[in-house]
Amino acid sequence: MLLSCLFFFLRYQNMTQSADAMSLQMVSAVSNSSLLQPGCSLLNFDGHVFFFGQKGWPKRSCPTGVFFLDIKQNEIKMKPVFFSKDSCYLPPLRYPAICTFRGNEESNKHQYVIHGGKTPNNDLSDKIYIMSLVSKTSKKTTFQCVEKDLGGDVPEARYGHTINVVHSRGKSMSVIFGGRSYIPLAQRTTEKWNSVVDCLPSVFLVDFEFGCCTSYILPELQDGLSFHVSVARNDTIYILGGHSLQNNTRSPSLYKLKVDLPLGSPALTCSVLPGGISVSSAIVTQTSDTEFVLVGGYQSDNQKRLVCNTIVLEDNKIEIVERASPDWTPDIKHCRMWFGCDMGKGSVLLGIPGANKQLISDANYFYILRCKGAEEDEEEELTAQICSQASTEDQGDSTPFEDSEEFCFSAEASSFDVDDIDTYNEDDEEDESETGYWITCCASCNIDINTWVPFYSTELNKPAMILCSNGAGHWVHAQCMDLSESMLLHLSEANVKYFCNEHVDLNKGLQTPKKVMHLKKQPMKPLRKKKTMNLTTPVKKSFLRRLFE
């Protein structure tokens, strides 16, 4: 009997260790790796993964800015998708809040809610978009994107926040919390034009059926948070970690937000639970109906968090325990920053910067972290919703490690043969490796990604650059050219050619002299002949006598 019990105990222990085993696999981006940058988002429709929020404005090769993301045989391929004719324009938003919801209980298809985020011009969005899959064939994928009109207490433009959907008494609502925004326009100065602040710790309920928003102030939520993790199940949301700019701290608190949706006004209650984790930039992936895994993030300004945790939600309670971490590679251990996203079903996509950032500023290395064994990787419906935001803020706005915005993702990437789909042509895109922000623009260039700080008030996380029109053209740093801020603004607004310090004299020598416009002379009128007296003409003597008298 003792041997039998020992046998079952050892078998259960082996199964537990197998379930907790985490594997790390490196993947390569076959093309368009420059588009996979911190702050992008991933959407999953019926097992197909789509990429949204590219760096820069969309090009002609993919005007929608949304790509099909195929992860196959440890390679990442990207192919463009299309929007339906009744769709609205969707800018490439980075660092938005994204979650899934179902239009109605009878429908098996889900949609995505996209709120907030940054545009390529660093403008913040306050709009809400609903994204749904219209059709997908082997050669073409079509989405419908609709902008939702809202009224009432509409949340201000922000980024780095979270959005979740709660269900109570047969009703559903979205909950928005946290994030950062620019300081009010009236308080902006030249030195603090792009400074950001924490949004007020208000909780927003959004009813998509009637298009109304209501804000709530809860006494338990005192400080604004951004780049936190929120996990929703039924009518309860758990908020974990996050970074506060005002206090420059990572909250160790664990908040439980419960939403009741009766026939009248909604009721919100918040309680602070023990057992929280002081972390920002964390990523959560779901491994079972009630179990989640927390990986990544930063535990301080100068230290990444390499510890992993298991989160269990059961019977209206939460339990967080530490679990075995994967065997991190030396590149991951010693990298300055990292970013990533939930791939669903226990998988996480991680990205770290490449080694040669001065030569190819957009090169990243990618890994897939699997948090459960292959025998458990089976088709299952994920009933809980996850929304995590990395605290990867731009340099100059926050701490050094706050520079790797999260990908948001809700399901696993499916590997299947889609070779007949039209491949996105990277040659049509601008070669950003040649026009990167961290190039050596001239012999006296002193711009270094590791030491650079904003010089002009218009700069945020990258140095200002201007195009020299010599030959085929090349980019130079405005600071290296000793341009004043007023001159830089004038050149950016005026339709004139600029030549850098090395080519300005050469350009003057090659210039064709300006054509001088001569004034047209008006012809002068001929003088009228004066009548003269011809003394030879006979005159009367009386006339001469009067003349000389």
Known binding-site positions for Zn(2+): 441, 445, 468, 474, 477, 480, 500, 503
Quickly count: other Cβ atoms within 10 Å of residue 234's Cβ: 14
Annotated binding-site members: 441, 445, 468, 474, 477, 480, 500, 503
What is the sign, positive or negative, of the torsion defined by CA atoms of 85, 89, 94, 95?
negative
Record the tokens describing residue 436, joined without a space: 């990167």
Rounded to 10 degrees, what is the CA torsion of 181, 183, 188, 194?
-30
Distance of alpha carbon 166 from alpha carbon 101, whole angstroms: 9
> For residues 400 and 227, what is the distance between their CA atoms, to the nearest angstrom?
15
CB burial readout 130-164, b (16+ within 10 A) else e: bbbbeeeeeeebbbbbbeeebeeebbbbbbbbbbb
Q: How many CB atoms lie within 10 A of CB 290?
A: 15
Phi, psi of 544 (to 5 degrees): -70, -35
What phi and psi, each to the nearest 5 degrees, are found at residue 10? Answer: -65, -35
What is the total residue count of the chain?
549
- CA-closest candidate to residue 101, choices 177, 162, 170, 166: 166
- Rg over alpha carbons for the chain, rounded to the nearest Å, is 33
Percent of residues in the chain assigned helix, strand, coil, to nearest 5: 10, 35, 55
